[in-house]
Amino acid sequence: MRPVLLKSLSPLFLILLIVLCFLVQKDLAIKREHFLEKTYMDYTLPSKVSGIVAMEFKGIVSDFLFLKVSTFLGDKFMKRLMLGDRHAEYIYNSVDVITDLDPWFWDAYLLANMVLSWDFRKIDKANTLLFKAREYRTDDFQVPYQIGFNYYYFLKDNTNGAKYMMEASKLPGSPAYLTSLAARLFMYQNQYKPAILFLKDVIAKTRNPVLKKRFETRLNTLIVLDDLEKAVDKFKEIYGHFPLKISDLVEKKIIEKIPQDPYGGDFFIMKNSRVFTTSKMVFKKRKPSQEKQFDSSN
């Protein structure tokens, strides 16, 4: 009797175990997320070690490490958590290791450049990696183009900016506008136009949705800044002097209304009559609790 009962109960028991396993797994996934958030190892083994350990699987190891870095960044971007110098170091060191394993890996160079220059303003570190890329990707116009842009836009060094943009324009596959952009870089001094072109080019080739959205927000802000600067110039043309506030442009009906900053800041006119935003194109922190949590995890 008993074996028959056990036999008939065993499928039921199995179903129960499967359901239980599913529930435990679901709970574990949540706990694991918290666990990783608190104990995330933002450290990559130096290439002297990882290069030896990876043996002949350097390519696939570099892919894995790149995925780890981009997931780390994607998570921080999505939660709009502030990134500190320690994170800049982590990104720089990781990409340095990744590109030691695979020195042609452009995705890694590009990600590091975009984040180190735009988010951390660590232009020297971004350029160090780009110059490393230049040694290997000798036929790729994107490398000198990015270096040139960093010199021009962030370091305000038009001479080097034009030099590298010109170098890029001579390489195969470079966009047609690059030659004229390089030639007129001095004319565009302190303008948002080259940055808009640059970001459009990056967005067109980016597949990662989180990064793409981030770049698009930045592009939209730059377009608004560019439009506002054009309006400021128009104001000067009509009234012979620059406006003091953005609201002056609305009052004189040059623009209909003050546009919104996608980063949540306010646009203002600087002393040199250029337009910028109080957000500095960085998202505001969402909640103080999140910041606290972030600090404790580090």
Q: Which residues bind another protein (CB under 8 A)?
A: 48, 51-52, 55-60, 62-63, 66-67, 70, 101-107, 110-111, 205-208, 211
Instruction: Choose between 208 and 279: whose C-beta lies nearer to another protein.
Output: 208
- Neighbour-count burial of 287, counting CB atoms closer than 10 A to its CB (0-12 exposed, 13-18 middle, 19+ buried): exposed
Taking the C-alpha atoms of residue 252 and residue 238, their distance in angstroms, rounded to an integer, is 10
Smallest distance from another protein to CB 176, Å? 18
Nearest approach in angstroms of CB 169 to another protein is 19
Question: Of the two residues 17 and 60, which places its CB atom closer to another protein in the complex?
Answer: 60
CA 95 remoteness from chain centre: 14
Q: How far is the CB of 8 from another protein (least distance, A)?
A: 36
User: Minimum CB separation from another protein for residue 32, in Å?
Assistant: 19
Write down the least CB distance from residue 277 to another protein, Å. Answer: 27
List all residues 6 or more positions away from 126 whose beta carbon is below 8 Å from its beta carbon. 112, 113, 116, 117, 150
> How many residues appear in the chain?
298
What's the closest the beta carbon of residue 206 comes to another protein, in angstroms? 6
| 59/264 with CB nearer another protein | 59
Q: Which is nearer to another protein, 51 or 262 (CB)?
A: 51
Q: Report in angstroms how near the CB of residue 103 gets to another protein at its nearest.
A: 8
66, 107 in Cβ contact below 8 A? yes
Instruction: Provide the minimum distance between the beta carbon of 62 and another protein in the complex, in angstroms, as a whole number.
Output: 8
Closer Cβ to another protein, 34 or 205, answer by number: 205
Smaller CB distance to another protein: residue 29 or 55?
A: 55
CB 295 within 8 A of CB 269: no
The encoded tokens of residue 180 equal: 């004229």
Nearest to another protein of 94, 158 (CB atom): 94
Distance CA 113, CA 150 (A): 9
For another protein, give the closer residue by CB, 71 or 260. 71
Structure tokens at 176: 């047609």
CA distance 14 to 121: 57
